[in-house]
Amino acid sequence: MMRKRLFTLFVIILSISLVSGCMQKPSSGEEEASATDDSGVTKITTVRTLKDDTKFKDGQDVNDNVVTDWAKDELNIDFDTLWTVPSDEQYNTKIRLAMSAGKDLPDVFLVSDNQLISDLIESGRVMQIDEAIDQYASPRLKEIFQKFPKAFYPGTVDGKRYGLPRFSGGNGSDSLLWVRQDWLDKFNLKAPKTMEELEHVMDVFTNQDPDGNGKDDTIGLTLASKNGLATWLADGSFIFGAEGDYEPKYWSENEEGKLVYGSIQPNAKKALSKLHDWYTKGYLDKEVGILDEQAAIESFIAGKSGIISAPPWADGWPIADAEKNNKGADVQPYPLPSGENGQIGRRGEGLTTGQFLFSKDFKHMDKFFEYWDAIYGYTLGDSKFFEKGMFEDYDYVMKDGQPVYDQKVIENVTGEEVIDPGKYFLTTDVPTVPYMLYDLLEQFHETGREPENPYEYRLAGKSEEYIEAGAIVNQQNDIRIENDFNGPPTKTLKEKGELLEKMEQEVYADIIYGNKPVDAFDEFVNNWKNSGGGEITKEVNEWYESVQQ
C-alpha cells in the first residue's frame, strides 16, 4: 500500500513538472527572439547584405569586429548576424522565402523594397513601433524623426508606423554640373549659368575639337536615358527642371496638393523638344536613347565629352577616372543652369534608402534604441563613446597625444589600408541625417570653419572639389523636385506598370531621335491615361492621403 501511494505521489509530481515545463516553454518564434543571458547581455539577431566595400581586418568578420566588441562591452548587446548575401536581390528573396514559409524572422532587419515592406506588414510578422519610439527613443532621435515625417511613409499603414527609416543624405545624390575646365580655358569660355550659355558651350565642345586630335569625335553632354532621364548619374533632370516643376518618373504635388506623374506634364514636352534639338546638333551621344548610367559615362571617362551632371561623390568616380585617363584634364563643379524664365530644377534624392523592420517577437526595443542613439551620437558630434573617433587604428590614430584623421597618416602608422568601421553598424554605413552632410561642407567651403568633432574631421578630409560640389548642391536645395510616392506599387501599377514604362521609354527615345514629331507627346499622354495611368493616379493619391492621416 505504501509503495502504491509513493508511486501515485511520484506520478503527480512528474505530471506537475511536465505541465509546468510546457507552460514555460516559449513559442518557436520566441525561441529565436532576442534574450538576455545571465551576464546581462542582450542578444539581437539580424541579417544583411555584405558587399565588396565592407572590409575586415585579418581574423575578423561580420560577427566579430570592433563594432560588435564595442556593443557588447559598452551596451551589453550581442549582435548575431544570422546570414549575409552579396546583393539586394538575393537578400529580398531570402526574406520573402522566410516570410512565406513561416520561418522566424530576425529581430531587426533592413528592407529596401517597398512591396516587400508592405507584404511583411500585411503578414502580421513585424511590430508596430509607435509606442516603442515614444517610450524608448532619445529626445534627439525623436527630433530627427519629427523633422522628416515623410521618411516613415514606406513603412506606414493606416497611420501606424512599422518601419524605422534608414535615412539617406537627403540631397546626397542630387546632381550639379561637372565641366571640363581645361576645355573652357582653351576657348576662353566661362562656365554656363543659363541654358542658352550651356548650348553655346556644348556647341564649342562638339564642333571645335577640344581634345585637339583633329577628329570630329567629341560631344557636349553625357546623358543616360535607358532608366529614365532623371537619374543618379549622367542625370538629365536639370533639363526638365529648367522648363517646369516636374521630373520624369516622379510623382510630385501639384498646386492642389495632389500627386501627378512628371513624365506626362507639359514641361516634359518642352524638355524633349530641346533634347531633340541637341541630338540633331550632335551635342549628345548618338546612342543616348539606350544608354544606362554605367554605359553613358564611358564617353566622359574616355575624354570625349565635356559636361556631365552628377552628384558630388562623382568626384571619386567617374571624375577621377576622366582626369587620370586624359592628360591635362581638369574637371570642376558648377551650379545647374537656369531656363529662359530663370527656372531651375533637379531630381531630389529620397529621404530614405530602406526601412528597418522588427520581428513581432522582439522584446528589447529599449536596447535597440540605446544602440541607435549611441551610433547617431557619432554623426551628431555628441558621444561619450566616440569622442576621438569611431575606433583607433581605423578612422584615426593617436600621435603626440592627439587623434589624427588623415588617411595617409593612418596607413603609415598601422601599416594597413584604412578600413571604415562605419560599415559594420546596422545602418551598413555611418548613420546619416538628411541634408546635414552637404550643409557642413558648405560651412567648410564658404566660411573656412574648422571641424569640431570626429565626424566633421572625416568630411573635412575629403578633396577640395568634393567639398565645393557639396556646397553647390546645398546652395541649390530650393530647386529640388522630390518623388512623393514612396509606397508599394498600387494594384493597377503592378498590372499595367511595365506596359506604361515601355510606352514612355519608346516615345521619349523616338522624339529625341526625331523618329516622331514632338507633338507625339500629346498622343502618348492620352494613351498613358487610358491604358491604366488614370487609375494609377487615383490609387497613388489614395495611398498619399492614407499615410498622412
Domain with 224 in it: what CATH number?
A: 3.40.190.10
Q: Which of 456, 487, 518 is the C-terminal boundary of a domain?
A: 487
Neighbouring-strand partners of residue 347: 481
Question: Is 8 inside any structural domain?
Answer: no
| Judgement on whether residues 236 and 368 belong to the same structural domain of the protein | no
**Any idea what the Cα angle at residue 283 is, between residues 280 and 287, rounded to 5°?**
75
Angle at 174 between CA 447 and CA 188, to 5 degrees: 70
**Residue 99 in this model has a pLDDT that exceeds 80:** yes
120 and 145 part of one domain:
yes
Summarised one tens digit per residue, pLDDT across range 184-226 is 999 999 999 999 999 999 999 999 999 999 999 999 999 999 9
192 and 318 inside one domain: yes
**483 and 494 inside one domain:** no
All three cell numbers of 339, joined, read 531656363
Domain that holds residue 45: 29-168+351-487
Q: Return d(Cα 167, Cα 156) in angstroms, integer.
A: 15
Measured CA to CA, the distance from residue 343 to residue 267 in angstroms comes to 11
The answer for 81, left when phi > 0, alpha when psi is -120 to 50, beta otherwise, is beta
Is the C-alpha dihedral spanning 183, 189, 192, 195 positive or negative?
A: negative
Find residue 78's DSSP bridge partners.
43
Beta strand 77-85 with 42-49: parallel, antiparallel or unpaired? parallel
Would 402 be classed as within a structural domain?
yes
- Confidence (pTM): 0.90
Q: Which residues pair with 334 in a beta bridge?
A: 177
* CA–CA dist 336, 235 (Å, integer): 11
| Residue 9 forms part of a structural domain | no
Q: Which of 27-31, 35-39, 291-295 has the lowest mean pLDDT?
A: 27-31
Q: Tens digit of pLDDT for each residue in 31-63?
A: 444 466 667 899 999 999 999 999 999 999 999
Residue 86 has pLDDT above 80, yes or no: yes
Q: What are 404-449's pLDDT values in tens digits?
A: 999 999 999 999 999 999 999 999 999 999 999 999 999 999 998 9
Question: Which of 441, 462, 487 finishes a domain?
Answer: 487
Residues 512, 289: contact at Cβ < 8 Å?
yes
For the cut 90, the answer to whether the pLDDT of residue 104 exceeds it is yes
Same domain, 414 and 524: no
| In a shared domain, residues 457 and 519 | no
Residue with cell 546581462: 40
Rounded to 10°, the helix 266-280/520-528 angle is 140
Query: Do 499 and 531 touch, CB atoms closer than 8 A?
Result: yes
- Please indicate, yes or no, whether residues 129 and 258 belong to a single structural domain of this protein: no
End-to-end CA distance of the chain: 73
Distance CA 64, CA 59 (A): 8
From residue 191, alpha-carbon distances to 173, 287, 379, 476 in Å are 22, 26, 35, 16
Distance CA 387, CA 385 (A): 6
- pLDDT exceeds cutoff 50 at 326: yes
- Lookup: cell for 247: 521630373
Q: Are 451 and 392 members of one domain?
A: yes
Q: 60 and 134, same structural domain?
A: yes
pLDDT at residue 266 above 60? yes
Q: Is the pLDDT reported for residue 327 higher than 70?
A: yes
> Does some domain include residue 401?
yes
User: What's the domain count of the chain?
Assistant: 2
The pLDDT score that the predictor gives to residue 36 is 67
The confidence score (pLDDT) of residue 38 equals 64
Higher pLDDT, 139 or 34: 139
Mean pLDDT of 466-484: 97
The yes-or-no verdict on residue 2 having pLDDT over 80 is: no
pLDDT digits (tens, 9 = 90+) for 112-129: 999 999 999 999 999 999
Mean pLDDT of the chain: 93
